[in-house]
Amino acid sequence: MMPPVFRFAPSPNGLLHLGHAYSALLNFDRARETGGRLLLRIEDIDATRCRPEYETAIYEDLAWLGIAWETPVRRQSEHLGDYRAALERLSALGLVYPAFESRAEIARLVAAREVDGPWPRDPDGAPLYPGDAKSLSADERSHLIASGAPYALRLDMQAACRRAARLSWNERGEGPDGERGIVPVRPEAWGDVILARKETPTSYHLSVVVDDALQGVSEIVRGQDLFYATSVHRLLQVLLGLPEPAYRHHRLIRDEACRKLSKSSRSTGLRALRAAGITPAGVRQLVGLG
Ligand code: GLU
């Protein structure tokens, strides 16, 4: 049997904190317990927020924690062609359309719709796409694209769900509401998600699904903040004919005020803890892996 493959996939847009340490250590421990492999993937498609110095810090902090990973590390910014190919596949199925509204226009559209009552929000709390770019004619689309207008490429969620109905995933960990075992997908809760933009041929959802398949990841260990996004990931896997990994979502490490940690929260940053004299064993204890 092939050894299981795990991955830790941070974005180099800030310094790692205790929440990252917990996720990375869980992946590392599971890989060791199961005789599996651990990969590290740098999710750096957002060029405006990612910095090389944060990537260097990721390597240093993980090594300090005692984590070992396989090389070469996959850096998403070096594989845009893979994501473009997947996007073209979805386009060929007629599941992708360009939407030209700016963020400000979207906010205005949502406000206008909310005059009649609350507009639906996705599991992260963002309003679903309120526009009607899906109904633009082919001529209108080409005209707008030729004019140089910026656009986002969105998944036609209704059409996608018609093609891939009644999906589920195998949850080996636990969702925010205690979901475990076979979890039915509800991708429609996300509306017409963005798959790419004019300048970037991918998005988080698309690249994570393409990479996990290309890298042969068999068990995805990650935080519960991504639990509901798994619905979109399963849908994309089926539409793209990719294998199904198992998922193990873990609890989130929170600060004293019970908030999810952010990359700017200094007190829980690994560097700050290290400077304060905390050891790698101390970090394990802090996240409950002692
Ligand atoms: N890059 C994502 C993050 O830093 C994690 C992606 C994943 O584990 O699926 O939150």
Residues 119-129 pLDDT 10s: 999 999 999 99
Determine the distance separating the centroid of ligand 1 and the alpha carbon of 208, expressed in angstroms: 8
Residue 202's closest CA among 94, 50, 98, 79?
Answer: 79
43/25 Cα distance (integer angstroms): 18
Ligand 1 and 14: CB distance under 6 A: no
Domain spans, the chain: 1-78+258-290, 79-252
| CATH number, domain 1-78+258-290 | 3.40.50.620
Residue 19 near residue 218, CB atoms below 8 Å: no
Residue 167 three-state SS: coil
Q: Name which residue sits closest to atom 3 of ligand 1, judged by CA.
A: 10
CATH 3.40.190.10 fits 79-252, yes or no: no
Residue 249 near residue 171, CB atoms below 8 Å: yes
Q: Give yes or no for residue 104 having a pLDDT over 90.
A: yes
Q: Give yes or no for residue 50 having a pLDDT over 80.
A: yes
Ligand 1 and 222: CB distance under 6 A: yes
Determine the distance separating the centroid of ligand 1 and the alpha carbon of 162, expressed in angstroms: 28
Residue 112's closest CA among 96, 132, 134?
Answer: 132
Helices vs strands, H then E, count in the chain: 10, 10
Determine the distance separating the centroid of ligand 1 and the alpha carbon of 113, expressed in angstroms: 32
Q: What are the tens digits of pLDDT across the range 139-175?
A: 999 999 999 999 999 999 999 999 998 999 999 999 9
The pLDDT of residue 257 is 74
The arithmetic mean of pLDDT across residues 62-82, rounded, is 98
Residue 159 three-state SS: helix
The arithmetic mean of pLDDT across residues 42-66, rounded, is 97
Residues whose CB is less than 8 angstroms from the CB of residue 147 and which lie 6 or more positions away in sequence, other chains included: none
The pLDDT of residue 254 is 85
* Same CATH fold assignment for domains 1-78+258-290 and 79-252: yes
Longest dimension (CA), the chain: 64
Q: Give yes or no for residue 258 having a pLDDT over 80.
A: no
Terminal alpha carbon distance of the chain: 31
